[in-house]
Chains A and B, each alone.
Chain A
């Protein structure tokens, strides 16, 4: 899904997000805007997000039609910090979104990234041709039912011997598995975390995760991207 928002498109970085909602006159009983990673930007001022329908709010957003308006606040938060190293992006579900953005940027700069993308089942896999068009890359797909791509979890595709910079975005259990892999193998990893969010700008203090030094840190302004060593992975 794309929104015309030239100001946000012009300055967004991979890993940053937008709060997307329909304002106070929205249809239905849902209320809060939802955080979405910026999935891509267009020269025409478009920003793209990956939308998967979970409940009333995402359903209402999915019913937006061309020409209708939404409230988009962003770009928000801290994105991925990449350097000259080779990159492996590990995505679960809609956690693919920031890596579409990142891979496309890298492709435009003539660099390749490895894009590992996992889903529960084949039916959930986003259209690979579209992904190819958006990213300039061919993602390596993993499904837990083996219905598409390789059978198994996306973390199974990682090589312990490699020295790439790992980037992860996806459900919390996947991030835990990825963090365990990175810590065990002494690998650099940055993850984009998921937590319930109220405002997206640091005022509600709702979206905390525990830092390695025992503080609650706000995913919206201190993240959503953290280095693996910044967070406490002992919690569920």
Chain B
């Protein structure tokens, strides 16, 4: 049978549900020689801040069991650098793949200024608002503060009509509460989830291994937490969700899709195998075919549960 992977989301046609996650695909160009970017759903750029940021001292990355930890520190060329040096390439080369620009800031004013500076530019579909980077001072403030999150999303919403996606942090008691705040404040979608804060200790030197001392943990280790966060967000709001966290293959991606994500992002796995996103796409297609599901959209959120979910009781 022929299956349809295409979905209309955020007012656009996505030929594939698979995107490359922010921070793992640069600004697209770095991967262009390795994989046919125009065959996937899209990419989410490395974060863009108002001013250029130098990033953190090394070590910035280290391996962890079934994952990695990073504290890059949002190194990026800033708004002007992005518009001048990175966006032209994206505009010229990504015709089929959609581009989300990941935006980060220290204050509401920072976010709004970046969005205002980008909004008239061509070459991207929408924004992914990073309220959850754990690797800079105050980086999770918006993502864990309900009032601040509401104010931020409301302020950005007033600035743009483009698709506005908020990337949630998992470091809250219930992601669903924050998902609902985003929806009420006018967001168009959610990315669930960003990394978990973590630490690796060098036992020989007796110091933190990462230059920033702590970092964000990603990779297969966080897969079940990401699926759970997606499911909580799905229960709490009706926004389209991009599922992200630990996806290696179609099996992982389909868990997110069943839990309620219509799109998925492949991140750390691309470092291990640059073709991971392509393989996820093909695997999902195969799953649909084998299960007689005509359209991917029929699968989204079709997880069968017996009763309404409740958050787990605190343990210990």
A215 and B54: CB pair below 8 A?
yes
Q: Across the two chains, which residue of chain A brings its CB closest to B209?
A: A196
Whether B58 and A204, one on each chain, are in contact in the complex, defined by CB atoms closer than 8 angstroms, is no
Residues from chain B with Cβ under 8 Å of A93 in the complex? none
Is B203 on the interface with A (CB-CB < 8 A)? no
Tell me whether A204 and B272 are in contact in the complex, defined as CB-CB below 8 angstroms, given that A29-B66, A216-B54 are known contacts. Answer: no
Asked if B72 and A204 sit within 8 Å, CB to CB, the answer is yes
The answer to whether B276 touches A24, judged by C-beta atoms less than 8 angstroms apart, is yes
Given known A-B contacts A23-B272, A205-B55, A216-B55, A32 and B75 have beta carbons under 8 A apart: no
Q: Are A31 and B23 in contact (CB under 8 A)?
A: no
B68 at the interface (CB under 8 A from A): yes
On chain A, the residues within 8 Å of B23 by CB distance are 204
Docked CA distance A209–B57 (Å):
8
Picked from A29, A197, A207, A210, the residue with its CB within 8 Å of the CB of B65 is A29
Contact of B154 with A by CB under 8 A: no
Q: Is B169 an interface residue (CB 8 A)?
A: no
In the complex where A31-B272, A32-B272, A33-B271 touch, is A204 in contact with B66 (Cβ < 8 A)? no
How many Å lie between the Cα of A29 and that of B63 in the bound state?
Answer: 10
- Cα distance A21–B273 in the bound complex, in angstroms: 9
Cα of A32 to Cα of B68 in the assembled complex, Å:
8
B61 is contacted by which of A26, A71, A207, A209 (Cβ under 8 Å)?
A: A207
CB-contact partner of B30 in A24, A57, A201, under 8 A: A201
A199 contacts chain B at the CB level, 8 A cutoff: yes
The B56-80 residues at the A interface (CB cut-off 8 A) are: 57-63, 65-68, 70, 72, 75
**Minimum CB distance partner of B211 in chain A:** A208
User: In the complex the two chains form, what is the Cα distance from A73 to B30 in whole Å?
Assistant: 13
Contacts of A210 in B (CB 8 A): 57
* Chain A, 152-205, CB within 8 A of any chain B CB: 195-199, 201-205
A203-B30, A204-B72 known; A57 and B58 CB under 8 Å?
no
Most buried by B among A23, A26, A71, A197: A23
B24 lies within 8 A of chain A by Cβ = yes
Q: Are A206 and B72 in contact (CB under 8 A)?
A: yes
> B54 contacts A24, CB within 8 Å?
no
Interface flag for B268 (CB, 8 Å): yes
- Closest chain-A Cβ to B218's Cβ sits at a distance in Å of 10
Count contacts on A: residues with CB < 8 A to the other chain: 29
Those of A197-232 within 8 Å (CB) of chain B: 197-199, 201-210, 215-216
Please determine whether B75 and A205 come into contact, CB atoms closer than 8 angstroms: yes
Give every chain A residue within 8 A of B269 (Cβ-Cβ). Answer: 24
Cβ of B287 under 8 Å from chain A? no
- Min Cβ gap A59→B in Å is 13
Cβ A203 vs Cβ B31 within 8 A: yes
Contacts of A201 in B (CB 8 A): 30-31, 34
- For the complex formed, measure the closest distance between the CB of A226 and the CB atoms of chain B, giving whole angstroms: 14
Q: Is residue A126 within 8 Å, beta carbon to beta carbon, of the partner chain?
A: no
For residues 221 through 251 of chain B, which have their beta carbon under 8 Å from a beta carbon of chain A?
Answer: 248-249
Bound-complex Cα distance A202 to B25 (A): 9
Residue pair A207, B273 in contact (C-beta under 8 Å)? no
- Given A31-B272, A195-B58, A215-B54, A203 and B26 contact (CB-CB distance below 8 Å): yes
- Give bound CA distance, A234 to B262, whole Å: 50
For B57, what are the chain A residues with a Cβ–Cβ distance below 8 Å? Answer: 208, 210, 216
- Rounded to whole Å, the gap between the CB of B194 and the closest CB of chain A is 15
Q: Does B220 contact A (CB under 8 A)?
A: yes
B195 to chain A, nearest CB (A): 13
Shortest CB distance A227–B (Å):
19
Q: B1-33 vs A: 1/0 string, CB under 8 Å?
A: 000000000000000000000011110001100
Q: Which of A71, A197, A205 contacts B273 (CB 8 A)?
A: A71
Minimal Cβ-Cβ distance residue in B for A197: B61
Q: Which residues of A contact B268 (CB under 8 A)?
A: 31
Which residues of chain B are near A23, meaning CB under 8 Å? 272-273
Contact flag A196-B59 (CB < 8 Å), given A24-B249, A201-B30, A205-B72: yes
Chain B positions within 8 Å of A202 at CB level = 26, 30
Q: For the complex, is B198 an interface residue (Cβ under 8 Å from A)?
A: no
**In whole angstroms, how far apart are the Cα atoms of A201 and B26 in the complex?**
10
Which residues on A sit within 8 Å (CB–CB) of B274?
73
Structural contact, B220 and A31, CB atoms closer than 8 A:
yes
> Using an 8 Å CB-CB cutoff, how does the interface string of B31-66 with A read, 1 for contact, 0 for none?
100100000000000100000001101111111011
29 A-B residue pairs with Cβ-Cβ distance under 8 Å, sorted by A, are A21-B272, A21-B273, A23-B273, A26-B272, A30-B63, A30-B65, A31-B66, A31-B268, A32-B63, A33-B271, A33-B272, A57-B63, A73-B34, A195-B58, A198-B68, A198-B271, A199-B270, A201-B34, A203-B31, A203-B271, A204-B72, A205-B26, A205-B46, A205-B60, A207-B61, A208-B60, A208-B75, A210-B57, A215-B54
Known: A23-B272, A31-B68. 4 other contacts (CB 8 A): A31-B272, A196-B62, A198-B271, A203-B30
Chain A to chain B: the 6 pairs with minimum beta-carbon distance, closest first: A206-B61, A203-B26, A29-B65, A199-B271, A203-B30, A24-B248
